[in-house]
Structure 1
Amino acid sequence: MMKMKAENIGLDYGQHTALQNISFQLEGNKIYGLLGRNGAGKTSLLSIVASFQEQTTGTLTVLEQAPFENAEIMQQVVFAYNKDYKEESDQVKNLLAGIAKYRPNFDMEYAQHLLARFKIPQDKKMKQLSKGMQAAVDAVIGLASNAPVTIFDEIYAGMDAPTRTIFYEELLKSQERFPRMILMSTHLVSEMEYLFDEVLILHKGTMILHEAYEELISKGVTVTGRVEDVEVFVQPMRQLNTQQLGGTKAVMVYGDLSEQQYKEAARRGLEIGPIALQDLFIYLTEEGND
């Protein structure tokens, strides 16, 4: 089983601390969502996992080995991100052929299928493609490499909505075909949350949360009903957001509700609904909630 363990990872760039005391353990063929606002440290952390750089402090192991400058482990990790292709004169098909030589699990037939789905002309030079098509090629590389650890760092940037939808569809199909550990970073949560098995949230260079997706979203609810009843019911709770329309109020709260509280809500005629991961993410990473 694929395992990855980070213990007290820190990363400094001169006087700037990008990451501090990052610890987590990942196991199995799951899709992990790494969430964080811009500048939270997502790319810094993923570049350490991909051996693009070494942490300043702490330890990282993949299959109980340190990945940095470890050829055996590095071959099992692919890091897909939006590269700069403005000087790249290789045709798409030649670029993929070159990558396939260094990726033992690369599936060229599957890569061709993906290129067709994304409508990417194989004979065009990379620098001639639009930003969206270049991003799609990066996604093809990540998916078709079939690496046991596959990282997508905000790979959707530049893609339009239909292209992103194709990417999400193919990601799930690919995971079913060739199960692996997938790490996906994003600060755009709403359209991607259904992909995640587990969620990690980075905020200002520290890990503030790591939980199974289903457990995490079950910790928040929306309480809707008459203004007076809602206000009394949510008064002792951790409130995330409030909306009011006329005599009706809806309040998002964070924390598990007891059986007694559910009964109390029913008695007051209040409606209890689910909360979106994006709402939780926004609240947990807001200024003042550190």
Structure 2
Amino acid sequence: MSFSATLRDVTLKYRDTDALADVNLDLEAGKIYGLLGRNGAGKTSLLSLLAAFRKPTGGEVLVGGEPVWENAGIVSRVALIREGGDFDDSDSVKSTIETGQIRPAFDTAYALKLADRFELPLKKKVRELSRGKRSILAAICGLAARAELTMFDEVHLGMDAPTRDAFYKELLAEYMDRPHTVILSTHLIDEVANYLEEVVIVDKGRILRHEEVEVFQNMGATLTGPAAAVDAIAAGLEVLAEQQLGGTKSATVAALEPGTRERAAAAGLEIGPVGLQDLFIHLTEPNRNGA
């Protein structure tokens, strides 16, 4: 089973500041979502509402079709894992895992298996863990929570690249074995792009875009080939990013009309999808109109 999530005309204020304003969002059950936004855009605030860590100032937050605030039956089946986890630093790693974060569906055997795989020192106190190992502990508790809605908020911070890759693969394997709803909030966009089905971009407390990954990737294109040919086709287009190695150049453009696409193909250029990270940077550029 997995939970859908809905926000209707949601506002969240911190004193006189709107962390979120007039947010409307529908997340279908049983998908992996990417939640993207610049620092301070409102990502953590949105996740906190879905986990009932905070009450909205206005509007309605539904999980599984029910209001989530003060709804113990729903909240017990939702997991929000934040960077570094919400642990008692005086507990040992083993004790932290065995208490299961007081979650009814927590799979202790699975968590201990992952702890062994990721080489977590069970006898150490949580406060003695490095930042990377603490992040791993948080990720393990999120995976083993077996929640119908599982949210990871920058949980990768401190992990090295091989550990992050192993975490993403384990997340996907657990999702395939037990379909549920997953939200990944991260700044490492290109690392997770292949695992996502839909992407939500939050900008300045509002939902800027919510689309399937393929829709974002088809908004522009990456042109690769001889530098002179790439420059000729890209002239007059909005270039998001460029890379050059010797005589070969790659340019990511914001849009590629059919006629231009045909000229690029005739020039022998390789045409690929736009990188999600390049597009995200473009869409949330502070000086961009409408962003």
TM-score (norm 1): 0.90
| Stretch moving more, 77-86 or 128-137 | 77-86
| Stretch moving more, 3-12 or 134-143 | 3-12
Evaluate the alpha carbon distance shift between residue 62 and residue 256 of structure 1 in structure 2; reply closer, same or farther with a 3 A threshold: farther
Q: Distance in 1 between matches of 2:34 and 2:236?
A: 31
- Name the amino acid aligned to 2:153: D
| Stretch moving more, 13-22 or 265-274 | 265-274
Task: Report the CA distance between 1:256 and its aligned residue.
Answer: 5.5
Partner of 1:176: 176
Give deviations 1:201-247, integer Å, cap 9, x for gaps.
11121111111112211222023456675556445644323456788
Evaluate the alpha carbon distance shift between residue 248 and residue 166 of structure 1 in structure 2; reply closer, same or farther with a 3 A threshold: closer
Q: Distance in 2 between matches of 1:134 and 1:234?
A: 46
Q: Distance in 1 between matches of 2:73 and 2:86?
A: 28
Give deviations 1:108-159, integer Å, cap 9, x for gaps.
1111111001101222221122121111111111000110000100001121
Please say if residues 117 and 166 of structure 1, whose CA atoms lie closer than 8 Å, have aligned partners that are also in contact.
no
Q: Distance in 2 between matches of 1:19 and 1:53?
A: 12
Partner of 1:10: 11
Q: Distance in 2 between matches of 1:275 and 1:248?
A: 18
Partner of 2:51: 50
Task: Report the CA distance between 1:72 and its aligned residue.
Answer: 0.9
Evaluate the alpha carbon distance shift between residue 127 and residue 244 of structure 1 in structure 2; reply closer, same or farther with a 3 A threshold: closer
Evaluate the alpha carbon distance shift between residue 57 and residue 237 of structure 1 in structure 2; reply closer, same or farther with a 3 A threshold: farther
Evaluate the alpha carbon distance shift between residue 244 and residue 144 of structure 1 in structure 2; reply closer, same or farther with a 3 A threshold: closer
Please say if residues 5 and 29 of structure 2, whose CA atoms lie closer than 8 Å, have aligned partners that are also in contact.
no
Partner of 2:276: 277
- Name the amino acid aligned to 2:272: G
Partner of 1:67: 68
Give deviations 1:5-41, integer Å, cap 9, x for gaps.
1122211111221111221111121110101111111
Evaluate the alpha carbon distance shift between residue 103 and residue 245 of structure 1 in structure 2; reply closer, same or farther with a 3 A threshold: closer
Please say if residues 153 and 186 of structure 2, whose CA atoms lie closer than 8 Å, have aligned partners that are also in contact.
yes
Please say if residues 5 and 27 of structure 2, whose CA atoms lie closer than 8 Å, have aligned partners that are also in contact.
yes
Please say if residues 80 and 142 of structure 1, whose CA atoms lie closer than 8 Å, have aligned partners that are also in contact.
yes
Please say if residues 100 and 107 of structure 2, whose CA atoms lie closer than 8 Å, have aligned partners that are also in contact.
no
Structure 2, unpaired ranges of 5+: none
Please say if residues 223 and 271 of structure 1, whose CA atoms lie closer than 8 Å, have aligned partners that are also in contact.
yes
Q: Secondary structure at the match of 1:8?
A: strand
- Name the amino acid aligned to 1:196: L
- Name the amino acid aligned to 2:211: E
| 1:166-245 alignment runs, 5 A limit | 166-224=166-224, 230=230, 233-235=233-235, 237-242=237-242
Evaluate the alpha carbon distance shift between residue 57 and residue 263 of structure 1 in structure 2; reply closer, same or farther with a 3 A threshold: same
Aligned residues: 288
Please say if residues 197 and 213 of structure 1, whose CA atoms lie closer than 8 Å, have aligned partners that are also in contact.
yes
Partner of 1:267: 266
Evaluate the alpha carbon distance shift between residue 84 and residue 170 of structure 1 in structure 2; reply closer, same or farther with a 3 A threshold: closer
Please say if residues 85 and 138 of structure 2, whose CA atoms lie closer than 8 Å, have aligned partners that are also in contact.
no
TM-score (norm 2): 0.90
| Stretch moving more, 38-47 or 248-257 | 248-257
| Stretch moving more, 211-220 or 144-153 | 211-220
Give deviations 1:182-211, integer Å, cap 9, x for gaps.
011011212121111111111121111111
Partner of 2:113: 113
Q: Secondary structure at the match of 2:99?
A: helix
- Name the amino acid aligned to 1:141: C
* In the alignment, structure 1 residue 137 sits paired with structure 2 residue 137: yes
Please say if residues 85 and 134 of structure 1, whose CA atoms lie closer than 8 Å, have aligned partners that are also in contact.
no
Evaluate the alpha carbon distance shift between residue 248 and residue 155 of structure 1 in structure 2; reply closer, same or farther with a 3 A threshold: closer
Q: Distance in 2 between matches of 1:281 and 1:190?
A: 10
Q: Secondary structure at the match of 2:190?
A: coil
